Amino acid sequence: MNTPDTSAWPTPTLHARKGQLTLEELALTDIAERFGTPTYVYSRAALVGAFDAWRAALAGRRALVCYAVKANSNLGILSVFARLGAGFDIVSGGELERVLAAGGSAAKVVFSGVGKTRAEMRQALGAGIRCFNVESAAELERLDAVAGELGVRAPVALRVNPDVDPKTHPYISTGLKGNKFGVAFADALALYRRAAALPHLRISGVACHIGSQLLDPAPMAEAAQKVLGLVDRLAAQGIRLEHIDLGGGLGIRYRDETPPAVADYLAPLLAVFAGRPEELCFEPGRSLVGNAGLLLTRIEYLKPGEEKNFAIVDAAMNDLARPALYDAWHDVVPVVARDIAPQRYEVVGPICESGDFLAHDRRLAVAEGDLLAILSAGAYGMTMSSNYNTRPRAAEVIVDGASAHLVRERETVAELFAAEKPLA
């Protein structure tokens, strides 16, 4: 029997028992039989454990952990973090509605993003969010005008761009001069003066986020030093901040990465701000949900070829876009071990695109009809999915011990075009 190397799996609650995979105490074969495939499956214990690691690393500090909703916005996921006391980092009005529907507190919500509309500003001000992370001079002026129309003062932090190289994939780097995010560091002081002069704004803090899938704390520590210098210059001019938001970005292990433990990642940042009165805020996303989830899919066909063998599965690039978008690696594991010789396969979906792949050149001992688990799919999986080729999006399930909870029903084709009308 081809016994998997479970030590290589980054999901702490995924196990191989009696030749098949279980998540917590539930066999993945049972989940597939009950809910079908493709299905995203998440471990509640892994979600809680990941959040607890952040909370433990910040023990004794005045700090708030705001989960980055864009990583995975399912109401079931959000409700788990809301019950743990998390705040939330949002980038749209839709995400705000999700947070509130899941029981999250608006008073713990920070609103990031470069393109906030007037309607979204009104929505967030009406809800009473904690802070707007403002990303341009134009946004600052618009927010003041909208707050004035409502007769309120908007709490703001400027997201400053420290021009620090995070050494990550260029598509998820956000803190360099050429990125669209944040305000230039050289312009920050003047913009804070402008914010202080606007009648309908209240300066609350400063924000900084340099990128995602960070594996080395050094770039973030460098950015933190720059932010600290700005905070002190602002204080010297009578602008005192209530909080310092250092973003998220801590990476996870997909293949052979060695990300630091949360405590080790935060240690140099906390050292920079030791003894400071400001509250520290962090916005982790991937590190809370990435390794808590997997994508369960079934092999439809095995197609041998002259140069490559193909395992054609019922999941596709519309379900998990990261491989096609970033050439990202996700481990692929048979759910039931077979005592047959493994072969190398391209794991691909049925979408009519050559870029529709989930994994290249994987050594698998499988047969048609077998289940595969695509690991480390809890972050930027379902939230980036689409209906390309009129494919209904997957179901989502949270496993809690030996129980499975359907937290998103599988879409139907009828639902996909329910809002459309043929031309008369």
Q: 67: alpha, beta or left, given left = phi > 0 and alpha = psi -120 to 50?
A: beta
Rounded-to-5 percentages of helix, strand, coil across the chain: 35, 25, 40
The structure tokens listed for 237 are 């001019």
Quick check: 291 and 285 in contact, CB under 8 A? no
Q: Which two tokens stand for residue 126?
A: 């009406």
Amino acid in position 193: R
Q: Closest Cα to residue 372, out of 307, 304, 286, 300?
A: 300
| Integer Cα distance of 279 and 277 in angstroms | 7
DSSP letter string over 58-115? TTTS-EEEEEEGGG---HHHHHHHHHTT-EEEESSHHHHHHHHHTT--GGGEEE--S-
Nearest by Cα to 358 from 38, 41, 68 = 38
Distance CA 338, CA 342 (A): 9
Q: How far apart are CA 236 and CA 316, in angstroms?
A: 55
How many CB atoms lie under 10 A from the CB of residue 23?
A: 27
* Alpha carbon distances (Å) from 118 to 97, 150, 194: 16, 12, 20
Q: Is the dihedral of CA 368, 370, 371, 374 positive or negative?
A: negative
CA distances to 116, 199, 203 from 149, rounded to whole Å, are 16, 12, 19
The rounded distance, in Å, linking the Cα atoms of 272 and 100 is 34
Residue 2's φ and ψ, nearest 5 degrees, are: -85, 90
Which is the catalytic residue, given 66, 131, 208, 352? 352
Q: Read off the DSSP letter of residue 411.
A: P
Q: Which two tokens stand for residue 165?
A: 């190289």
Type of residue numbered 268: P
Q: Which residues on adjacent β-strands are paired with residue 302? A: 311
The yes-or-no answer on residue 66 being catalytic is no
Question: Residue 336 has what DSSP assignment?
Answer: B
Catalytic residues: 352
